[in-house]
């Protein structure tokens, strides 16, 4: 069995039952979500043995996060209970002011997870590991999280694991483009498998998409795989210099949150378990399509059976190899 480890913040997500401005919402569903945890749970559902590193508050929301990870079979040995700081929470606003677009409002400053640091890492977490995963959100949380993410990469590399990194820019955490480049560049340089998207590349390198693409390829000096997520335009990959492209599936969009994470997780689980790049991209698209069509980041994440059922209905999709 392949083994993966993730690091990041998991929060309680309050998602209104109705679309529209938050000030008019009175009924909320309580979900659990966090980018790297979403990806890890996607991988676990597809047969990778996963564990997760984070900190939770000694509060009710911390308890629901712990039981969510455990109920998925994700190992929580590296989860720290922080008695001084609370579990982070965020609110979702759907379809307002931009129809079909989701906005998030965080209550995560000084959260337990933001206090996670390199002192919480143990060598044993990195033994027999195939893949370590982190995204641009974690180093943006705090200096201690940044240090923990960098040290985890060193420990994972020493144990022979591959490093997967998603640029995942959250500008409300990183504040400026200059700071985004400063914080994210070391991670882009160290990644073996890099995930990014048009929005993130424009944020880092400007609106000329070809220039931005060239710049990120140049910066990703260790990456043998770069996956470019293009939302409803599908997904592309550059694998040891060869370009692959896979169009997306057209489905109704209810809540886009978590779709990119699902896409990363399905790609990584498929690739680690020996699937071809084309199939890995196809399953990544399926996971993204299922996730946008339902609320909650974790609940929709498909297992193999769900992927197969989806493909039986929607077909395998157009397959193109760009040379």
Active site residues: 261
Q: Under a CB-based contact definition with an 8 Å cutoff, are residues 145 and 114 in contact?
A: yes
Residue 152 CA to chain centroid, in angstroms? 17
Residue (17 or 276) nearer to ligand KDG, CB: 17
Residue/partner pairs of 210-215 with CB below 8 Å, 24 or more apart: none
Q: Which of residues 257-316 bind ligand KDG (CB under 6 A)?
A: 257-258, 260-261, 297
Q: Under a CB-based contact definition with an 8 Å cutoff, are residues 143 and 14 in contact?
A: no
Residue span binding ligand KDG (CB under 6 A) among the ranges 176-184, 221-229, 253-261, 273-281:
253-261
Q: Minimum distance between the CB of residue 73 and ligand KDG, rounded to whole angstroms?
A: 21
Q: Minimum distance between the CB of residue 103 and ligand KDG, rounded to whole angstroms?
A: 11
Cα distances (angstroms) measured from residue 103 to each of 21, 98, 213: 10, 9, 26
Cα distances (angstroms) measured from residue 241 to each of 193, 225, 318: 13, 9, 22
Q: Minimum distance between the CB of residue 323 and ligand KDG, rounded to whole angstroms?
A: 33
Residue (25 or 138) nearer to ligand KDG, CB: 138
Q: Binding to ligand KDG by residue 35, rule CB under 6 A?
A: yes
Residue span binding ligand KDG (CB under 6 A) among the ranges 34-42, 114-122, 225-233, 235-243:
34-42
Q: Which of residues 161-190 bind ligand KDG (CB under 6 A)?
A: 170
Q: Minimum distance between the CB of residue 282 and ligand KDG, rounded to whole angstroms?
A: 21
Residue (22 or 217) nearer to ligand KDG, CB: 22
Judged by CB under 6 A, which of 33, 79, 164, 253 binds ligand KDG?
33
Q: How many whole angstroms separate alpha carbon 182 and alpha carbon 198?
A: 19
Residue (33 or 69) nearer to ligand KDG, CB: 33
Q: Under a CB-based contact definition with an 8 Å cutoff, are residues 226 and 216 in contact?
A: yes
Q: Minimum distance between the CB of residue 253 and ligand KDG, rounded to whole angstroms?
A: 14
For residue 131, give the 3-state DSSP assignment.
strand
Task: Tell me, residue by residue from 59 to 98, as one string, x for binding to ligand KDG by CB under 6 A and - for no binding.
Answer: ----------------------------------------
Residues 6 or more apart in contact with residue 217 via CB below 8 angstroms: 226, 238
DSSP labels for 86-97?
A: PPPEEEEEESSS
Residues 6 or more apart in contact with residue 230 via CB below 8 angstroms: 197, 198, 236, 248
Cα distances (angstroms) measured from residue 31 to each of 28, 104, 140, 295: 9, 13, 23, 9
Task: Name residue 228's beta-bridge partners.
Answer: 196, 236
Residue (107 or 154) nearer to ligand KDG, CB: 107
Backbone angles phi, psi at 194, to 5 degrees: -115, 135
Residue (8 or 317) nearer to ligand KDG, CB: 8
Residue (82 or 261) nearer to ligand KDG, CB: 261
Judged by CB under 6 A, which of 34, 296, 300, 302 binds ligand KDG?
34
Pair of tokens at residue 53: 């590193």
Q: Minimum distance between the CB of residue 22 and ligand KDG, rounded to whole angstroms?
A: 16
Residues 6 or more apart in contact with residue 305 via CB below 8 angstroms: none
Q: Minimum distance between the CB of residue 105 and ligand KDG, rounded to whole angstroms?
A: 10
**Site for ligand KDG, rule CB under 6 A:** 33-35, 38, 104, 137, 170, 257-258, 260-261, 297
């Amino acid at each position: 069995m392949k083994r993966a480890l993730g690091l990041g913040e998991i929060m309680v997500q309050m998602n209104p039952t109705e679309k529209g401005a938050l000030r008019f919402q009175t009924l909320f569903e309580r979900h659990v979500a966090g980018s790297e945890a979403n990806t890890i749970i996607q991988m676990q559902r597809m047969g990778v043995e996963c564990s997760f590193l984070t900190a939770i508050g000694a509060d009710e929301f911390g308890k629901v996060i712990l039981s969510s990870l455990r109920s998925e079979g994700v190992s929580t040995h590296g989860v720290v209970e922080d008695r001084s700081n609370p579990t982070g929470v965020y609110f979702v606003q759907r379809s307002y002011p931009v129809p079909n677009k989701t906005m998030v409002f965080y209550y995560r400053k000084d959260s337990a997870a933001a206090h996670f640091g390199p002192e919480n890492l143990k060598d044993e977490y990195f033994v027999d590991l195939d893949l370590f995963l982190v995204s641009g959100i974690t180093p943006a949380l705090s200096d201690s999280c940044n240090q923990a993410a960098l040290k985890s990469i060193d420990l994972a590399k020493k144990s022979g694991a591959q490093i997967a990194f998603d640029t995942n820019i959250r500008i409300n955490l990183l504040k400026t483009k200059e700071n985004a480049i400063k914080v994210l560049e070391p991670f882009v340089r160290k990644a073996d498998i890099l995930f990014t998207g048009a929005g993130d590349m424009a944020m880092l390198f400007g609106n000329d998409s070809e220039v931005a693409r060239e710049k990120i390829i140049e910066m990703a000096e260790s990456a043998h795989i770069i996956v470019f997520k293009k939302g409803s335009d599908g997904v592309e990959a550059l694998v040891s210099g060869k370009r692959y492209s896979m169009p997306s599936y057209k489905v109704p969009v209810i809540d886009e949150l978590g779709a990119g994470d699902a896409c990363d997780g399905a790609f990584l689980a498929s690739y680690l378990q020996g699937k071809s790049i084309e199939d890995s991209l196809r399953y990544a698209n399926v996971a993204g399509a299922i996730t946008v069509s339902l609320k909650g980041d974790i609940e929709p994440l498909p297992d193999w059976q769900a992927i197969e059922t989806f493909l039986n209905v929607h077909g395998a999709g157009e397959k193109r190899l760009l040379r």
